[in-house]
Structure formats: structure tokens, C-alpha cells
A and B are shown apart, each in its own frame.
Chain A
């Protein structure tokens, strides 16, 4: 035994002395033990296993504190608003909506790269325009398809305050069938905010039932929409001697659909036709012996070339054949046999057409478009949407919005002179609007009066020669 252990130790010592060499040859009993011993040179140090265990258990305790925080972090959707003047927008949201500024990253110029606001308990991100990154404001793109919705404790006082701070009322505060009381305001930066206070707790079924009942109930007298069904706020009224001929022309040239044809109050034809999403009224002929009142119309179509050809085939004369206009449409111009201008346009630039802009957009030439716009604002509450003005003050193109309709205008030039056009204009309260129009400088044609076709109508002439028949729809009349 002692001999074996001596022999083994000699072999082990030889192995240990030549650290990196193979174990020396030994007999069958000793050699395996030397190999094991060689492996044992890599044995971990005493206590290392226990030390390491303690070490990572300490760190793990920290990790186990951080871990659940990350695990419960919920998914959050945050609206990110782009505004043309973000700093002003932040200021406005603070004043009008009680927003709190949490964070702002601004360039030296003050341009806001990123800001975070809270309104109530909700976060809103906001930044200036960065066109290179596709960040464009509603003012640039012509409106926002996304509406903001605020749920507040008291919608009435909230909206009142917002209006006092410069918001514009879009829809007055009212009780809604789904159990909320809500209204809508627009901020000066192009965003619309629905403000709402829940008043009733309703189940989905109850809301559905109420909706069902609402859509079945015939509108009560005095509760009808002030705009007759199928119409928009502004409808051009083309009055010509040969009304029947003009009706045929708009059908052939523009695919107009005739909805109504009867005898008007002055004994002539009164007809209502639909072109695309808009209506036009055509009157005259028969016993009517008035002066023709032609109109200019910017007609948005899908194919300007085809429409242009159809218009010529239907008897119009060409003013200019279709060509790509630098302002964003393929446009052509024709004058029909009855004295109306039709500017046919197929837009290829989104910026050229405002969201919701109707197919039949009245186009007014004015000696001073600026003055016309001032009048439209004062008399009808028009909102200026854009204005292209050269340094000498000539307005080449302007768009104003009245209700849901856009009106375009430019300073009269060349062949495009002022036309004595007539427009039919729906207003919420014709009596009030009549008064405002007169205050704004219009002269009266007829005082407000109920008409047999269900509208209460008043007529005024603006200082530029246009006639406006303002109407409030008061009851539905079946023809």
C-alpha cells in the first residue's frame, strides 16, 4: 500500500511538473489515477461555487424588483398632433383645454420637435411640421381626418371656456341619444374636438334600441334639418331663358340626374338636378321674363378630357382645352350656349381640393375678391380656407367655406368677368341671417317668408351683383 502510494505520487509529481504535457506512462492501476489528478488541476477553488451563488442571488433580488414593473407596463395609444405653430398650439391647449405641458424639446428657433401635454389624465404628443418626415399639419393638408374626443366632467362650461379662449363652435352642446351630452369645437390649428360628458349609463343594447327608434321616427315639425335632404349649404341657381335646353345640356355633358321639374313661383321652370355629390337648380323659361343669371362652376370630375369632349358635343364652346395646370389639376374650360362657365377639373394634387369639397363648386369672379370674402364672412359666417395673392394684391384664387360648401373666387380678369349669379343658401335661421346680410351691406330682394315647398326663404343682393336666396328648411313636403 505504502509502496503503491509512493509510486503514484512519483507519477503525479511528474505530471504536475510538466503541466501542459500528457501524463507520463505508468502501470494500469496508476495511470487512470494520474489522469483523474490531471483533471483535478482545473478543480474550482474552494468556496467559489457558494460565493458565486450568493453574488447572483443579490443581483437577482434587484432584477426581481425591476422585472414586474416592466411586465405590467400597459400598451398605450397616444395621439400625436402636428401643428403649423406648435408653440402657439401648446399655449392654446393650455388656455382653452387646461392642458399641462410635461415636456418640450425645441430647436433654438423655438420650433418644437416634440412636446408632451396632458389633458386630464391623458397624454398628447405634439410637434411642429416636419415635411421631410411626413409630419404635416391640418392647415397644410386641408383638414384632419382624425377627430379628438375629450370626456370632461362638465361639457357646457368646458366648451364655453374653450370658445372664450378662441376655439370655434362646430356643433353646439346637446344631449345625444347615446346618453352623452356633447358638442364640437375646432381649434385654430385645424383639429376638431368633440367634448362630451356622459349623462346616462346605457348598455350597448339600449343604445342600439334608441338608435333604431331614432332612425324610424319621422322628423317632427320644427325639428327637421335646416338643410333639405339631398342638398348642401350652397346650391347654384342657374336662371336662363331656355331652362329646358340647359337641363338637357347638363344631363348630356355632365351626366346630371333630374330629381325634380315643376313650375316656379314666377311661372317658369324650376328644376333640381344632381351632378356628382351636389345639386344645381335651374330656372327660367315659360312665363318667366327675367334677366338671365349665368354662373361660373368649378366642376370636379374624374376624367377632364372625356367630360370636356362631352360638353363640346352637347353644344358648349371651348375656352381652353384640357391641360395640366400647375396648381394641381388637369383642367379645361367651356362656356355653354346659355352663358354659364364650366371649369372642368380632374385634380391630381390633393392640396388642390379641400376635404369634402363638393363636385359642383361655385366659382365667383369679383372685381375685388377680398371685399367679396369680407362680405361672405360677415353675412354668412364664411370661413376663409386659402388665398393665393400676388404682391400687387391681385387674388388669383381663394377658397371660403360656408357650412359644408366651398366657394371659390378670383379677381375678374380677361374673359372671366363678374357674373350676376344666383345662389340658394341654406342657413339655420333665415330671419337672423337675413338681418346679418343686410347689416353686411346686402340689399333686400324679399323678406323671409314660408314657401309651399317647405323652406322659409329670404332674398338679398350683395354689393357685387350676386343674388342669395337664403333658406331654412322647416318641413318636409312630398311632391
Chain B
């Protein structure tokens, strides 16, 4: 019995991922599972390099469409699926830079280094983004509005019909919950 192997979470995750990939290769309908699992990672990677939200969304969209098209050529024996996705992401970012530097002279961005593993900070961010979705609704709303949507405590309080003190409390608890989720990092 392959108890030893099955007991290692890494290989169980790998086996699960392989099943998802093979299913999606046979039936594009199954791609949704891979998308659900990797959306945050790709978005986190792109958003780290492209601060503009619209651009980040465009590029994320590009990555998944390219991945869906190229999926039949993905070989699970090569790089992990996540690394494969990040390589696609690196390419679409580089392409965008090339395009914009042709439009705007003087921009000299460094080329994206070849992605070999999933960077730890990106992994952490992806985990954080997923954790946000698990927050209690009022904490989640405050965290989103305050950081992602860049709204002031006053505006959030008005919008939610709460006191500013209550909003600050929700913000505090939300961040504490997220910190706990990330294992104290």
C-alpha cells in the first residue's frame, strides 16, 4: 500500500491536481475546477506587477483564456500547473510592457525572470485573498471597501449605517482573523 505517499499532503495535492488537469484536458467544461483553485494565485502575481486594477483584470483574463486554449499541450510531468500558469502570466505581462513601451518611449522595464516555482509571497497573497472570502460578511465588506476600494472609514460607516468606531472594530477583527488564517505570518 502506498500509505507513505498518500500520507504526504504535497503528493495528495499533486494527485488531485493531476486529476483536475486530466479531466479538463478531456472536457474543457472541467476547467472551472482549475480556475477556482488558481484564480487568486494568478491575480496576486499580476497585481504585484501591475498596480492598475483594470489592467490586472485584463491580464488575468488573458492568462486563463490562454491556459484554456493551451491546456491540451500541458504535460503534468513537466512544471506544476501553478508554475505553468505563472509563466503564461509573466509572458502576458512582458507583452503588455513591450506594447506600452512602443507606445510610450522611455519605458524600460526589466524582463520577467523565468518562473521556476511559485514565489512564497505570491502564495501567501493568494491564500490571503481566499481567506477574505471566508470572513464573516460584515468584516469582509469593511476589509474590501477599506483596502481594495480605498474608501474612508467615514464613507464606509455611512454606507453600512454603522458608527465609525464599529467600522474600525470590524477592520481590526477582520485583519486579526486573516492573520490567524495565514498562520501568524
Q: Which residues of A contact B (CB under 8 A)?
A: 1-2, 4-6, 8-9, 12, 16, 32-33, 36-37, 39-46, 48-49, 52-53, 55-57, 59-60, 63-64, 67
A8 and B172 contacting across the interface, CB-CB below 8 Å: yes
B35, closest chain A residue (CB) = A53
Which 6 A/B pairs are nearest by Cβ-Cβ distance? A42-B47, A40-B147, A43-B148, A5-B172, A33-B175, A5-B168
Contact A57 B32 (CB under 8 A): yes
Q: How many A-B residue pairs have CB under 8 A?
A: 115
In contact, A43 and B132 (Cβ under 8 angstroms):
yes
Residues facing A in B46-70 (CB within 8 A) are 47-48, 51, 53, 56-57, 60-61, 64-65, 68-69
- Determine which of A1, A36, A37, A44 lies in contact with B169 in the assembled complex, contact meaning CB atoms within 8 Å: A1
Is B144's beta carbon under 8 Å from chain A? yes
Q: Are A40 and B143 in contact (CB under 8 A)?
A: yes
For the residues of A in contact with B, the DSSP-based class is helix
The answer to the question of B165 belonging to the interface, with a C-beta cut-off of 8 Å to chain A, is yes
List residues of chain A with CB within 8 A of the CB of B125.
Answer: 39, 42
Across the interface, which residues of A come within 8 angstroms of B144, CB to CB?
43, 46
Asked whether B83 is an interface residue with its Cβ less than 8 Å from the other chain, the reply is: no
Chain B residues positioned under 8 Å from A6 (CB to CB): 168
Tier of interface size on chain B = 35 or more
Q: Are B171 and A5 in contact, CB atoms less than 8 angstroms apart?
A: yes
10 A-B pairs with C-beta separation under 8 A: A6-B168, A8-B175, A9-B172, A12-B171, A39-B124, A56-B35, A56-B61, A59-B65, A60-B68, A63-B69
Asked if B97 is at the interface (CB within 8 A of a chain A CB), the reply is no
Cα–Cα, bound, A40→B184 (Å): 16
Chain A residues whose C-beta falls within 8 Å of the C-beta of B179 in the assembled complex: 32-33, 36
Binary interface profile of B, 116-154, with partner A (CB < 8 Å = 1, else 0)? 000000001100110010000000000110111110010
A46 to B149, CA, bound (A): 9
Report B-chain residues with C-beta under 8 Å of the C-beta of A39. 124-125, 128
When distances are taken between beta carbons in the complex, the residues of chain A under 8 Å from B184 are: 32
Q: Contact between B65 and A56 (Cβ–Cβ < 8 Å)?
A: yes
Q: Is the CB of B148 within 8 A of A45?
A: yes
B153, A44: Cβ atoms under 8 Å? no
Knowing that A9-B171, A45-B57, A52-B64 touch, tell me 4 more A-B residue pairs with CB under 8 angstroms. Answer: A37-B147, A42-B44, A43-B129, A57-B32
Chain B residues contacting A49 (CB-CB under 8 Å) are 39-40, 43
